[in-house]
Structure 1
């Protein structure tokens, strides 16, 4: 039986090193503070029921590190790397690939501004302007899988949580 994802989380990578002319953008890592903030944020969100069966990430170092934090905190069984989530994200490619994975709850970890465009596509308005801060998570309910528009349930940033605590 083919099962479509019913819950999609789209995440912008956590806080990374600044661009450096001597370093390839591909290799930028999360800062120590960025790692800590994102881990605390994920632990907080876990308390509100954040669970995933599969995390798919861009191949760039900062997104892989962000995804690895989620795997560790949430005890997620699977982590996959997919080029369609690299800068210039390809909605059609990542949506089709994800639909074939037969998981109920999936998280995509990518880059701005692409993650905002992915959220817009997931809710059926590819022209919507959705800005996602570093470490932000959008939760989208997909009653009919990725082929039909989903419903944006929430979009939360670590800054909001930090301000509330």
Structure 2
């Protein structure tokens, strides 16, 4: 199984919105995210599932991934909201019916995505994986399911600039 962590694209300034969850992607954020999604599609990546934070900027990012034919319509997962629960996600993952070689992408926020990736890959967090906006982390497990604190491989950590022409 492969698990990808995709940070939302560049969003509008916090000062312009009363609620953080209402901040949309900027034009630059939308454009850059579309370019990254197109590049991932060109590389042959396809997800069996797309889970997204309920916040607008993450949902918009997930929709861009789906529109690029990288996977199915995104499913909102409350646990991907800022300060979400890795435990809740791992419980969801146990129930997810997918093939052992399935690919799943989580669209969310920093520092949560970096911390979750650290916990799953290394068994602890140290705030070392800094995921840039529209950046991606990939973890791989030889097992049918990724579990925290097991033999998982960090095989991808890149910012969008390395994926763009």
Tell me if TM exceeds 0.5.
yes
Aligned pairs (5 A) from 1:95-106: 95-103=90-98, 104-106=102-104
Question: Could you tell me how far 1:16 is from its partner in structure 2?
Answer: 0.4
Q: How far apart are the structure 2 equivalents of 1:79 and 1:99? A: 19
- Structure 1 residue runs of 5 or longer lacking an equivalent are 1-5
Q: Please give the per-residue CA displacement for 1:99-125, whole angstroms capped at 9, x wherever unaligned.
A: 211121111011111111011012033
Is the CA contact (8 Å cut-off) linking 1:42 and 1:70 kept in structure 2?
Answer: yes
Structure 2-normalised TM-score? Answer: 0.89
Structure 1-normalised TM-score? Answer: 0.89
Is the CA contact (8 Å cut-off) linking 1:58 and 1:64 kept in structure 2?
Answer: yes
Question: Could you tell me how far 1:77 is from its partner in structure 2?
Answer: 2.2
Q: How far apart are the structure 2 equivalents of 1:149 and 1:57? A: 25
Is the CA contact (8 Å cut-off) linking 2:45 and 2:70 kept in structure 1?
Answer: no
Is the CA contact (8 Å cut-off) linking 2:37 and 2:70 kept in structure 1?
Answer: no
- Structure 2 residue runs of 5 or longer lacking an equivalent are none
Q: Residue 25 of structure 2: which of 17, 26, 30 is its match? A: 30
Q: How far apart are the structure 1 equivalents of 2:72 and 2:57? A: 20
The aligned residue for residue 161 of structure 1 is: 163
The aligned residue for residue 130 of structure 1 is: 129
The aligned residue for residue 67 of structure 1 is: 62
> Structure 1 residues 90 and 18, CA, compared in 2 at 3 Å: closer, same or farther?
same
Q: Residue 113 of structure 1: which of 111, 114, 122 is its match? A: 111
CA RMSD of aligned residues (A): 1.5
